[in-house]
Amino acid sequence: MTLREELIEKSLRLEEMLDRVPEPVARQMRDRIGEFRELLLEQRPPRFVLVGRRGAGKSSLINAIFGERIAEVGHEKATTHRGKWWSYAGDLGTVDLLDTRGIQEGTTPEGAEADLTPVESIAAALEQKAPDAVVFLIKAKEVDAAIDGDLDALTEVCEHIRRLHHIPVPVVAVATHCDEVEPKNVRLHEPEGERDDDLQEKLERIERIEQHLERKIRERDELRDQFVAAHGVSTYQSWRRDGTRRADERWRIEELLDFLLDELPDQARVEFVRLSQVKAMQRRIADRLTNIVSTICGGIAVTPVPIADIGPITSLQMSLVTGIGYISGRRLEVKTATEFLGAIGANVGAAVALREAARALAKVVTPGLGSVISAAVAYAGTKAIGRAASAYFIDGVDVKKARKIFKSTKKKARKAFERSEEENDGELPVAFPYDEEDQQQ
Residue 60 interacts, among Mg ion, ligand GTP, none and using kind-specific CB cut-offs from 5 to 8 Å, with ligand GTP
Check binding of 80 to ligand GTP (CB under 6 A): yes
The identity of residue 312, as a single letter, is P
Cα distance between residue 266 and residue 35, in whole Å: 8
Check binding of 276 to ligand GTP (CB under 6 A): no
The residues in 70-129 that bind Mg ion, with binding defined as CB under 5 A, are 79-80
Nearest distance from residue 354's CB to Mg ion, in Å?
A: 58
Tell me which stretch binds Mg ion (CB under 5 A): 58-66, 169-177, 211-219, 318-326.
Answer: 58-66
Residue 55 interacts, among ligand GTP, Mg ion, none and using kind-specific CB cut-offs from 5 to 8 Å, with ligand GTP
Closer residue to ligand GTP, CB minimum distance, 109 or 429: 109
Check binding of 335 to ligand GTP (CB under 6 A): no
Tell me which stretch binds ligand GTP (CB under 6 A): 183-191, 203-211, 234-242, 278-286.
Answer: 234-242
Dihedral class, residue 276 (left if φ above 0, else alpha if ψ from -120 to 50, else beta): alpha
Cα distance between residue 150 and residue 415, in whole Å: 55
Question: In this chain, which residue has its C-beta nearest to Mg ion?
Answer: 59
Dihedral class, residue 44 (left if φ above 0, else alpha if ψ from -120 to 50, else beta): beta
Residue 299 interacts, among ligand GTP, Mg ion, none and using kind-specific CB cut-offs from 5 to 8 Å, with none
Cα distance between residue 35 and residue 369, in whole Å: 29
- Spell out a b/e string for 369-397, using b for 16 or more CB atoms within 10 Å of the CB, else e: ebbbbbbbbbbbbbbbbbbbbbbbbbbeb
Nearest distance from residue 276's CB to ligand GTP, in Å?
A: 18
Check binding of 55 to ligand GTP (CB under 6 A): yes
Closer residue to ligand GTP, CB minimum distance, 153 or 321: 153
Q: Is 429 helix (H, G, I), strand (E, B) or coil?
A: coil
Tell me which stretch binds Mg ion (CB under 5 A): 41-49, 59-67, 151-159, 222-230.
Answer: 59-67
Tell me which stretch binds ligand GTP (CB under 6 A): 84-92, 112-120, 229-237, 276-284.
Answer: 229-237
**Which helix (DSSP H) or strand (DSSP E) does residue 207 occupy?**
helix 196-218
Closer residue to Mg ion, CB minimum distance, 78 or 365: 78
Check binding of 57 to ligand GTP (CB under 6 A): yes
Check binding of 65 to ligand GTP (CB under 6 A): no
Check binding of 104 to ligand GTP (CB under 6 A): no
Tell me which stretch binds ligand GTP (CB under 6 A): 8-16, 22-30, 47-55, 349-357.
Answer: 47-55
Check binding of 166 to ligand GTP (CB under 6 A): no
The number of beta carbons lying within 10 Å of the beta carbon of residue 55 is: 16
The residues in 400-429 that bind ligand GTP, with binding defined as CB under 6 A, are none
Letters for 169-198 (x = contact with Mg ion by CB under 5 A, - = none) are: ------------------------------
Nearest distance from residue 58's CB to Mg ion, in Å?
A: 5
In sequence order, the 6+-apart residues with CB closer than 8 A to the CB of 192 are none
Residue 176 interacts, among Mg ion, ligand GTP, none and using kind-specific CB cut-offs from 5 to 8 Å, with ligand GTP
Cα distance between residue 362 and residue 290, in whole Å: 27
Cα distance between residue 80 and residue 98, in whole Å: 10
Nearest distance from residue 17's CB to ligand GTP, in Å?
A: 50
Check binding of 60 to Mg ion (CB under 5 A): no
The number of beta carbons lying within 10 Å of the beta carbon of residue 34 is: 15
Check binding of 59 to Mg ion (CB under 5 A): yes
In sequence order, the 6+-apart residues with CB closer than 8 A to the CB of 99 are 50, 58, 80, 81, 82, 83, 86, 109
Nearest distance from residue 78's CB to ligand GTP, in Å?
A: 9
The residue within the footprint of ligand GTP, chosen from 96, 150, 156, 179 (CB under 6 A), is 179
CB 126 within 8 A of CB 166: no
In sequence order, the 6+-apart residues with CB closer than 8 A to the CB of 227 are 170, 171, 173, 214, 217, 218
Cα distance between residue 121 and residue 127, in whole Å: 10
Give the start-end residues of each E strand in 240-336: 245-248
Residue 34 interacts, among ligand GTP, Mg ion, none and using kind-specific CB cut-offs from 5 to 8 Å, with none
Instruction: Enter the DSSP assignment of 397.
Output: -
DSSP character string of 107-176: PPPTT--TTS-HHHHHHHHHHHS--SEEEEEEEGGGTTTSHHHHHHHHHHHHHHHHHHHS----EEEEEE
Contact residues for Mg ion, defined by CB under 5 A: 58-59, 79-80
Contact residues for ligand GTP, defined by CB under 6 A: 52, 54-60, 73-75, 79-80, 101, 176-177, 179-180, 234-236
